[in-house]
Amino acid sequence: MRLPVPEVLLPADRLGRVHFIGIGGAGLSAIARIMAANGVPVTGSDDQDTPFLPALRELGVTCHLGYAAEHVADADTVVVTTAAREDNVEVVEARRLGLRLLPRSAGLAATMADKRVLAVAGTHGKTTTTGLLTSALLAAGADPTYAVGGVLTATGRNADAGSDDLFVAEADESDGAFLVYRPHAAIVTNVEADHLDNWGTEEAYHAAFDDFAATIDRAGFLVCCVDDPGAAALAASARADGLEVITVGEAAGSDLRIVDPEFAGSTSTSTIMQGGVELGRLSLGIPGRHYLLDAAAALAMGLRLGHSFDALAAGLAAFTGTGRRMELKGEAGGIRVYDSYAHHHVEIAGDLQAARSVVGDGRLVVAFQPHLVSRTRIFGAQMGQALGAADEVVVLDVYLAREDADPAVTGALVADAVPLPDECVAFVTDFDAAPAELVRRARPGDLVLTLGAGSVTALGPAVLSLLRERDA
């Protein structure tokens, strides 16, 4: 559901008791954690016991499983996930009681009062770049508040309330949330059409990023990864509008440039040049060219804020990833199992390229779950084409999330477009049958990769369990 952003955004300490509908999601759980850490009384509910909830419970936050009208009885403010339906019993009761209803964006903005916001936006790479920036700043001696769309493996959390005036925030464009935050500075990783269920057209989607750049403090700055045409166009228009812009990328002329990148196994390295001067060698413990670009953007922001290359580079080198971003789930029977959130064809291509450097001489066995009917309708064929970089592909049916099913839009749209021999591609409509199908196709030395923004993440542990049984 969509809620309007109030004209006057109150700081969190003036919201009273705050209840979160959908507290188990990445976005709302981060907001709830920051509010609770700052002394705001917080409760929440969700229909799933997600990995984000244990850290909230450790802070004393009551997290109900299941929705019930009585959960909002003591609340003054209710923050609602976009995935909630209008007939959600807690939404209905909150309206009946006349409670303040806020969308996720307004809830996050409430935690940003009196902070210098460093927003990370873009079609792809937001979560990883937000995590990289947070890791770099912490290593450089800063103590920012941060809100990330995934669990940082280094901390086991997706948010923390820091002691200084910086706030590192993942800024999501899917529902226009990133237009609310009024950042001091921002990173845009790339701009490539997505979420057209909300924006309608590719032109409107790109225009939203222009609007986002216009919200940046004129005394602040914008970092753009100009290897991406959409971000390069944004950089040019923002600079013409008088905003300071720092460009990063492999492209000649980038203000901060990655040179001679190398990829070996699960590592990525590159020389970093700035203004023709070599700053040093950057090494990452995560594989893939796109991650080097994300790290370069984080590095550029940290340098502009006055931190040293060595300290920032050490923080980037220590970054061990975020949950569901090329995350190693385990190994059994000589087969490694990874999981990734990639759900757009460009993200799929990037993660498969990274997986190739990890698997070496082995094969890539991929399970992909399309996310959203609208996205699958528009980009299903391109998703299938991107999956052609694998050796074996298992496509699941569409994860519906906030949309209703459409019998004309299924995972078959993706599977039929995979440019591999028929015997190398399977469309599996029974989710519970997918682990056995993956195990049947995998052999020692292979890498199994589960991809998608929905429930596909549950396949990894099931695959590992079957592999162990097979080898017992």
Catalytic residue IDs: 126-127, 170
Distances, alpha carbon 124 to alpha carbons 35, 344, 364, 371, in Å: 27, 8, 22, 15
Tell me whether residue 271 is annotated as binding.
no
Read off the tokens for 162. Answer: 């820091």
Largest CA distance in the chain: 65
Q: Which residues of 93-114 are buried (b: 16+ CB within 10 A; e: fewer)?
A: bbeeeebbbbbbbbbbbbbbee
> Per the annotation, does 128 bind a ligand?
yes
What is the C-alpha to C-alpha distance for residues 153 and 130, in angstroms, rounded to an integer? 13
Query: Was 206 annotated as part of a binding site?
Result: no
Strand partners, 270: 282
In whole angstroms, what is the distance from residue 449 CA to residue 185 CA? 35
Q: E-strand spans in 226-341?
A: 244-249, 256-264, 267-274, 277-284, 327-332, 335-340
CA contacts within 13 A on the Cβ side of 164: 15
Whether 122 has a binding-site annotation, put simply, is: yes
Name the 3-class secondary structure at 51: coil
Determine if residue 321 is labeled as part of a ligand binding site: no
192, two tokens: 């490539």
- Residues annotated in a binding site: 122-128
**Which residue ranges make up the annotated binding site for ATP?**
122-128
